[in-house]
Chain A
Amino acid sequence: MSESHLLPPVSGETEPFWEGARRGELRVQRCRDTGRLIFPPRARSPWGRHRPPDWTAVSGRGRIWSFAVPHPPLLPPFSDLAPYNVVIVALEEDETIRLIGNLVARENGAINEVPPDSIEIGAAVRVVFESTRDEIALPRWMLAESLP
């Protein structure tokens, strides 16, 4: 089975997110009428009335809201990495904007390097970007205390 179905599409209405990621910038949509952040991206703001949302860069800082540690049976490439962590990070700017990602011990580190028992809800984290394919950079997260 191809693993490509596990990678995000690089075009369409979510393209600015992945374009930002390639440039090392975390972007989310913002309602142009209310200023409220929007995630996941969509064609219209649920709070605005008139103008389509635009995109804005955010700090890339947040806190772990929850996490899971998947074990087999899984799909490649994840079956070879299990057990690994998946975290949800609530952004500093708006705690209802929650991004899925993985906690890594170092930039370009593997998603199974951080001991699961050491992960704590509420821990402060910061985004780093990992280039996995030519056109895609995936946001990962590191503990803020481990970054300069």
Chain B
Amino acid sequence: MKDAAAIVGIGETPFAKKLDSSEKTLAVRAILAALDDAGIDPSEVDGLSSYTMETTDEVEIAKNIGAGDITFFSQVGYGGGAGPAAVGHLAMAVATGQCRVGVAWRARKRGSGGRPWASDVGQPSAAAQWTRPFGLIRPVDEIAMLTRRYMQEFGATREHLCNVAVAIRAMANRNPNALMYERTLSREEYMSSRWISEPLCLFDNCLETDGALACVVVSAERARDCPHPPAMIHAFAQGLPQQHHTMVNYWCDDPLRGPSWACAARLYERSDIGPGDIRVAQIYDAFTPLVPLSLEGYGFCGRGEGAAFTEGGALELGGRLPINTSGGGLSEAYVHGFNLINEGVRQIRGSSVNPVPDADACLVTAGEGVPTSAMILRR
């Protein structure tokens, strides 16, 4: 399926801590904006793909946007692990003829709609009985454990996590659509902010956002007729490694070698583009430590070298590998990483507010720490 399909349209709603519209309304709005961007009528849509955590199902989307007969529909699990997979499933479906115009989307009111970790509704995961009774409650607590170990094993410090937070905030400060557009972040503010779960502070955590995003996938051939330069889906992979536990990945041989590693091995196996060829990346950033762990997993540096990689402004515009150029989950919007996909497309189009020169390929990743996915977009 290498370069067989492309993203030709992107759309999104405004982002806010609280939006009045329902998740369904936001989803439909983002999808129609993406189709408009692609110059494709909704009646041509015959493929749909989203997240298992999405609250609006395909039936509702299809009837509200005025889709045609849907012949491919797919959902991917594990929240922030799903983004590139939702798009990748459409690329496979287009490449194999299961659909011709695919739409992927994510709508979420995480800003005003409550915190999943605070809910006692639904079946707790099989692992929860080994963690929650001891006060390991929230995703941030679960990642704090891996972070502390990472610091101890490899000499990573809060300065390295600060590098991530500050670099991504500076991207958002140039993006008028970002929630943190007008809020700068200094190293002093980072270092003096309150703890959430030591060793992670407030600014190590992503935003809580209401919003929705979508993109449109068609064949490479059809993409040539669309108004914007296509972002070719060059390679795509998923990763659920051996003996993995989602978020609480403490029971495998090496917990600091997360799902990124398995995903990256398959991704690059299917790709003509390697980490050495990639000048810009969108790295899933629900928490700052996921960035150094992902940099290692996706081969930008060796194991244990991800923290040091962030030094010297490496992740900033003009650095070795600018990341999350619209502000990511930390500073633009946290919508389970779908904003990373749309920003990857903008880098390929050359329409990013933080354009990276010679960015002819962009890596987009989903969450490290959960069954994950990634894709390489190219011109």
Within 8 A of B (CB), among A110-136: 111, 116, 121, 136
A3 to chain B, nearest CB (A): 9
Task: Assess whether A121 is in contact with B138, with CB atoms less than 8 Å apart.
Answer: no
The yes or no answer to B191 lying at the interface (CB within 8 A) is: no
Within 8 A of B (CB), among A39-79: 39-40, 46, 65-71, 74-75, 78
Give the CA-CA distance A78 to B248 in the complex, in Å.
19
Give the CA-CA distance A138 to B118 in the complex, in Å.
22
Give the CA-CA distance A6 to B124 in the complex, in Å.
10
Among the 9-residue stretches B139-147, B212-220, B328-336, B346-354, the one with 4 or more Cβ atoms under 8 Å from chain A is: B139-147
Residue-wise, chain A 71-108 has the 8 Å CB interface mask toward B (1 for contact) of 10011001001011010100000001111111000000
The yes or no answer to B187 lying at the interface (CB within 8 A) is: no
Given A2-B120, A40-B127, A121-B152: A74 in contact with B134 (beta carbons within 8 A): no
The yes or no answer to B133 lying at the interface (CB within 8 A) is: yes
A12 to chain B, nearest CB (A): 9
The yes or no answer to A23 lying at the interface (CB within 8 A) is: no
A92 to chain B, nearest CB (A): 16
**Tally of B interface residues using CB under 8 Å:** 35
Task: Assess whether A100 is in contact with B120, with CB atoms less than 8 Å apart.
Answer: no
Give the CA-CA distance A87 to B126 in the complex, in Å.
19
Residue-wise, chain A 1-20 has the 8 Å CB interface mask toward B (1 for contact) of 11001111100001000000
Which residues from B are CB-within-8-Å of A78? 135, 137
The yes or no answer to B154 lying at the interface (CB within 8 A) is: no
* Beta-carbon nearest neighbor of B117 in chain A: A75
Task: Assess whether B136 is in contact with A96, with CB atoms less than 8 Å apart.
Answer: no
Task: Assess whether A69 is in contact with B251, with CB atoms less than 8 Å apart.
Answer: no
Given A86-B134, A102-B135: A69 in contact with B198 (beta carbons within 8 A): yes
A127 to chain B, nearest CB (A): 13
* Chain A: interface size category: 35 or more
Selected contact of B196 from candidates A71, A99, A136, CB within 8 Å: A71
Task: Assess whether A70 is in contact with B132, with CB atoms less than 8 Å apart.
Answer: no
* Beta-carbon nearest neighbor of A81 in chain B: B135
Give the CA-CA distance A40 to B245 in the complex, in Å.
10
Within 8 A of A (CB), among B180-200: 194-199
Residue-wise, chain B 127-170 has the 8 Å CB interface mask toward A (1 for contact) of 10111111111100100111011001000000000000000000
Task: Assess whether A100 is in contact with B137, with CB atoms less than 8 Å apart.
Answer: no
Task: Assess whether A68 is in contact with B129, with CB atoms less than 8 Å apart.
Answer: no
Which residues from B are CB-within-8-Å of A88? 145, 149, 250
Give the CA-CA distance A2 to B120 in the complex, in Å.
8
Which residues from B are CB-within-8-Å of A98? 250-251
Selected contact of B197 from candidates A1, A8, A69, CB within 8 Å: A69
Which residues from A are CB-within-8-Å of B221? none
Give the CA-CA distance A65 to B126 in the complex, in Å.
22
The yes or no answer to B243 lying at the interface (CB within 8 A) is: yes
Selected contact of A66 from candidates B118, B132, B135, B149, CB within 8 Å: B149
Give the CA-CA distance A12 to B134 in the complex, in Å.
20
Given A75-B118, A86-B145: A68 in contact with B127 (beta carbons within 8 A): no
Selected contact of A6 from candidates B133, B148, B248, CB within 8 Å: B133
Give the CA-CA distance A1 to B118 in the complex, in Å.
9
Which residues from B are CB-within-8-Å of A81? 135
Task: Assess whether A83 is in contact with B135, with CB atoms less than 8 Å apart.
Answer: no
User: With A66-B149, A68-B145, A81-B135 given, can you name 14 additional A-B contacts, CB distance below 8 Å?
Assistant: A5-B120, A40-B127, A68-B136, A70-B136, A70-B196, A70-B197, A71-B198, A74-B135, A75-B137, A88-B149, A99-B130, A111-B135, A116-B198, A138-B134
- Nearest 9 interchain pairs by C-beta: A68-B144, A5-B120, A69-B198, A66-B149, A8-B129, A71-B195, A78-B135, A70-B197, A66-B148
- The residues of B with any CB-CB pair to A shorter than 8 Å are 118, 120, 124, 126-127, 129-138, 141, 144-146, 148-149, 152, 194-199, 243, 245, 248, 250-253
